[in-house]
Structure 1
Amino acid sequence: MSDLPNKARVVIIGGGVIGCSVAYHLTKLGWKDVVLLERKQLTSGTTWHAAGLIAQLRATANMTKLAKYSQELYGALEEETGVATGFKRCGSITVALTEERKEEIFRQAAMARAFGVEVEEISPEEVKTRYEHLNVGDVTAGVWLPKDGQGDPANIALALAKGARQRGALVKERIKVTGIAKDGRRVTGVDWVSDDGQSQGHIEADMVVNCAGMWGHEVGRMAGVNVPLHACEHFYIVTEGITGLTQMPVLRVPDECAYYKEDAGKILIGAFEPNAKPWAMNGIPDTFEFDQLPEDFDHFEPILEAACNRMPMLAEAGIHTFFNGPESFTPDDAYHLGLAPEMDNVWVAAGFNSIGIQSAGGAGMALAQWMEDGQKPFDLGDVDISRMQPFQGNKHYLFERSKETLGLLYADHFPYRQKATARGVRRTPFHHHLLEQGAVMGEIGGWERANWFADEGQEREYQYSWKRQNWFENSAAEHRAVRENVGMYDMSSFGKIRVEGPDAEIFLNYICGANLSVPAGKIVYTQFLNTRGGIEADVTVTRLSETAYLVVTPAVTRLADQTWMMRHVGDHQVVITDVTAGEGVLAVMGPNARKLLQKVSPNDFSNAVNPFGTAQEIELGMGLARVHRVTYVGELGWEIYVGADMAGHAFETLHEAGQDMGLKLCGMHMMDSCRIEKGFRHFGHDITCEDNVIDAGLGFAVKTDKADFIGRTAVLERKEVGPKNRMLQFKLTDAEPLLFHNEPIIRDGEYVGYLSSGNYGHTLGAAIGMGYVPCEGESAADVLGATYEIDVCGVKVKAEASLKSMYDPKSERVKV
Structure 2
Amino acid sequence: MSIPPPHARVVIIGGGVIGASVAYHLTKLGWNDVVLLERKQMCSGTTWHAAGLIAQLRASQNMTRLAKYSQELYGNLEAETGMSTGFKRVGSITAALTAERHEELLRQASMARAFGVEVEPITPDEVKAKYPHLNCDGVTGGVYLPLDGQGDPSNIALALAKGAKLRGADIFERVKVTDLRRDGRRVTGVNWQSEEGRGTIACDHVVNCAGMWGHEVGKMAGTNVPLHACEHFYIVSEKIPGLSQLPVLRVPDECAYYKEDAGSILLGAFEPKAKPWGMDGIPESFEFDQLPEDFDHFEPILEWAVNRLPILAETGIQTFFNGPESFTPDDAYHLGLAPEMDNVWVAAGFNSIGIQSAGGAGMALATWMDEGEKPIDLGDVDISRMQPFQGNKTYLFERSKETLGLLYADHFPFLQKTTARGVRRSPFHEHLKARGAVFGELAGWERANWFANEGQSAAYNYTWKRQNWFENRAQEHRAVRENVGIYDMSSFGKLRVEGADAETFLNHVAGGNMSVPVGKIVYTQFLNSRGGIEADVTITRLSDSVYLVVTPAATRLADETWLRRHVGDQRVVITDVTAGEAVLAIMGPNSRKLLQAVSPNDFSNIANPFGTAQVIEIGMGLARAHRVTYVGELGWEIYVPSDMAGHVFETVNAAGEAMAAKLCGMHMMDSCRIEKAFRHFGHDITCEDHVLEAGLGFAVSKDKPSFIGSDAVQRKRDNGLERRLLQFRLKDPEPLLYHAEPILRNGEIVGHLTSGSYGHTLGGAIGLGYLPCKGETASELLASSYEIEVAGRRVSAEASLKPMYDPKSERVKQG
TM-score by length of 2: 1.00
1:785 and 1:3 map into 2 onto residues whose CA distance is: 68
- 2:165 maps to 165
1:516 and 1:637 map into 2 onto residues whose CA distance is: 23
User: What root-mean-square deviation, in Å, do the aligned CA atoms of Structure 1 and Structure 2 show?
Assistant: 0.5
- 2:367 maps to 369
- 1:119 maps to 119
- 1:735 maps to 733
Query: SS at 1:815's partner residue?
Result: coil
1:364 and 1:404 map into 2 onto residues whose CA distance is: 27
Once the two structures are superposed, the pairs formed by residues 323-402 of structure 1 within 5 Å of their partners are 323-402=321-400
1:199 pairs with 2:193: no
- 1:630 maps to 628
- 1:455 maps to 453
- 2:69 maps to 69
2:181 and 2:241 map into 1 onto residues whose CA distance is: 57
* Aligned amino acid, residue 272 of structure 2: P
- Deviations, residues 415-444 of structure 1 (Å, cap 9, x unaligned): 000000000000000000000100000000
1:748 pairs with 2:746: yes
- Offset at 1:3? 3.7
1:87 pairs with 2:101: no
2:542 and 2:699 map into 1 onto residues whose CA distance is: 20
1:273 and 1:199 map into 2 onto residues whose CA distance is: 44
* Aligned amino acid, residue 789 of structure 1: E
Match of 2:245 among 238, 244, 247: 247
1:11 pairs with 2:17: no
Match of 1:668 among 666, 669, 672: 666
1:141 pairs with 2:141: yes
* Aligned amino acid, residue 4 of structure 1: P
Query: SS at 2:427's partner residue?
Result: coil
Query: SS at 1:697's partner residue?
Result: coil
- 1:594 maps to 592
- 1:580 maps to 578
Percent identical among aligned pairs is 77
1:723 and 1:615 map into 2 onto residues whose CA distance is: 35
Query: SS at 1:540's partner residue?
Result: strand
- Offset at 1:779? 1.2
- Offset at 1:707? 1.6
* Aligned amino acid, residue 134 of structure 1: L
2:717 and 2:795 map into 1 onto residues whose CA distance is: 33
1:153 pairs with 2:153: yes
Once the two structures are superposed, the pairs formed by residues 478-517 of structure 1 within 5 Å of their partners are 478-517=476-515
2:396 and 2:25 map into 1 onto residues whose CA distance is: 31
Match of 1:603 among 598, 601, 604: 601
Query: SS at 2:433's partner residue?
Result: helix
1:615 and 1:780 map into 2 onto residues whose CA distance is: 36
- Offset at 1:361? 0.2
* Aligned amino acid, residue 363 of structure 2: M
* Aligned amino acid, residue 791 of structure 1: E
- 1:693 maps to 691
- Deviations, residues 220-273 of structure 1 (Å, cap 9, x unaligned): 000000000000000000000000000000000000000000000000000000
- 1:428 maps to 426
Deviates more, 1:699-708 or 1:165-174: 699-708
Q: Which stretches in structure 1 are left out of the alignment for 5+ residues?
A: none
Once the two structures are superposed, the pairs formed by residues 636-647 of structure 1 within 5 Å of their partners are 636-647=634-645
2:146 and 2:780 map into 1 onto residues whose CA distance is: 37
- Offset at 1:547? 0.1
1:138 and 1:395 map into 2 onto residues whose CA distance is: 41
1:27 pairs with 2:27: yes
* Aligned amino acid, residue 170 of structure 1: D
- Quick check: 1:13–1:208 contact (8 Å CA) kept in 2? yes
* Aligned amino acid, residue 739 of structure 1: L
2:284 and 2:778 map into 1 onto residues whose CA distance is: 63
- Offset at 1:704? 2.9
Once the two structures are superposed, the pairs formed by residues 402-413 of structure 1 within 5 Å of their partners are 402-413=400-411
Q: Which stretches in structure 2 are left out of the alignment for 5+ residues?
A: none
1:145 and 1:295 map into 2 onto residues whose CA distance is: 33
TM-score by length of 1: 0.99
- Offset at 1:178? 0.2
- Quick check: 1:228–1:330 contact (8 Å CA) kept in 2? yes
1:2 and 1:362 map into 2 onto residues whose CA distance is: 30
1:114 and 1:601 map into 2 onto residues whose CA distance is: 51
- 2:59 maps to 59
Query: SS at 1:693's partner residue?
Result: coil
Query: SS at 1:283's partner residue?
Result: coil
Query: SS at 1:85's partner residue?
Result: coil
2:8 and 2:411 map into 1 onto residues whose CA distance is: 44
- Offset at 1:571? 1.5
- 1:174 maps to 174
Moved over 3 A (4+): none
Query: SS at 2:56's partner residue?
Result: coil
1:27 and 1:658 map into 2 onto residues whose CA distance is: 63
- Quick check: 1:704–1:712 contact (8 Å CA) kept in 2? no
Query: SS at 1:813's partner residue?
Result: coil
- Offset at 1:300? 0.3
- Offset at 1:79? 1.0
- Quick check: 2:438–2:459 contact (8 Å CA) kept in 1? yes
Q: How many aligned residue pairs are there?
A: 814
1:3 and 1:46 map into 2 onto residues whose CA distance is: 25
Match of 1:721 among 719, 722, 731: 719
1:783 and 1:182 map into 2 onto residues whose CA distance is: 54
- Offset at 1:804? 0.2
2:431 and 2:3 map into 1 onto residues whose CA distance is: 65
- Offset at 1:301? 0.4
1:256 and 1:706 map into 2 onto residues whose CA distance is: 60
1:795 pairs with 2:789: no
1:556 and 1:390 map into 2 onto residues whose CA distance is: 12
1:775 pairs with 2:773: yes
1:778 and 1:183 map into 2 onto residues whose CA distance is: 53
- 1:215 maps to 213
- Quick check: 2:2–2:172 contact (8 Å CA) kept in 1? no
- Offset at 1:2? 6.1
Query: SS at 2:234's partner residue?
Result: strand
- Deviations, residues 175-197 of structure 1 (Å, cap 9, x unaligned): 00000000000000100000x3x
1:385 and 1:325 map into 2 onto residues whose CA distance is: 25
* Aligned amino acid, residue 579 of structure 1: V
- Offset at 1:778? 1.2
1:652 pairs with 2:653: no
- 2:524 maps to 526
- Quick check: 1:585–1:640 contact (8 Å CA) kept in 2? yes
1:750 and 1:2 map into 2 onto residues whose CA distance is: 58
Once the two structures are superposed, the pairs formed by residues 299-314 of structure 1 within 5 Å of their partners are 299-314=297-312
Query: SS at 2:729's partner residue?
Result: strand
Query: SS at 2:624's partner residue?
Result: strand
1:397 and 1:248 map into 2 onto residues whose CA distance is: 40
- Offset at 1:758? 0.2
Query: SS at 2:636's partner residue?
Result: strand
1:693 and 1:189 map into 2 onto residues whose CA distance is: 39
- Offset at 1:781? 1.2
1:580 and 1:121 map into 2 onto residues whose CA distance is: 47
* Aligned amino acid, residue 59 of structure 1: A
- Quick check: 1:704–1:716 contact (8 Å CA) kept in 2? no
- Quick check: 1:513–1:704 contact (8 Å CA) kept in 2? no
- Deviations, residues 61-96 of structure 1 (Å, cap 9, x unaligned): 000000000000000001111111100000000000
* Aligned amino acid, residue 496 of structure 2: R
Deviates more, 1:773-782 or 1:305-314: 773-782
